[in-house]
Amino acid sequence: MKWTNIELGYENKLDLLKKKSSYELLGITQEASLKEIKKAYKKKVLLYHPDRTDDFMTSYSEEVIKLLNKAVDKIKENIKNES
């Protein structure tokens, strides 16, 4: 059996996530309501929260959560500026 470095796969996935827009990260459109934004955020956090993933995915999960937090903050700022 040949062993592979599974962390490399997660690093590649993380790089792909970093290239996505805030809306793409949350899986919503730019026309999404605040309620839809919160629902999408909560769904993603429940999926990626480090306490809910295996130990080997903790660092990946922490980075994804940081990206999600930045995405929500950016979207909220955009909404605030539009008002």
Structure tokens at 15: 């790089």
Q: What is the pLDDT of residues 16-51, one digit of tens each?
A: 999 999 999 999 999 999 999 999 999 999 999 988
Residue 62 in contact with residue 51, Cβ under 8 Å? Answer: no
Q: How high is the pLDDT of residue 83? A: 72
Q: How high is the pLDDT of residue 53? A: 84
- Going from N- to C-terminal start, the domains of the chain cover 6-82
Q: Is residue 73 over pLDDT 80?
A: yes
Q: How high is the pLDDT of residue 18? A: 94
Q: Is residue 2 over pLDDT 70?
A: no
The whole-chain average pLDDT of the chain stands at 89
Residue 12 one-letter amino acid: N
- Dist CA 55 CA 62 (whole Å): 11
Q: How high is the pLDDT of residue 37? A: 96
CATH architecture of 6-82: Orthogonal Bundle (1.10)
Question: If you ran DSSP here, which 8-state letter would residue 31 be given?
Answer: T
Give the pTM: 0.84
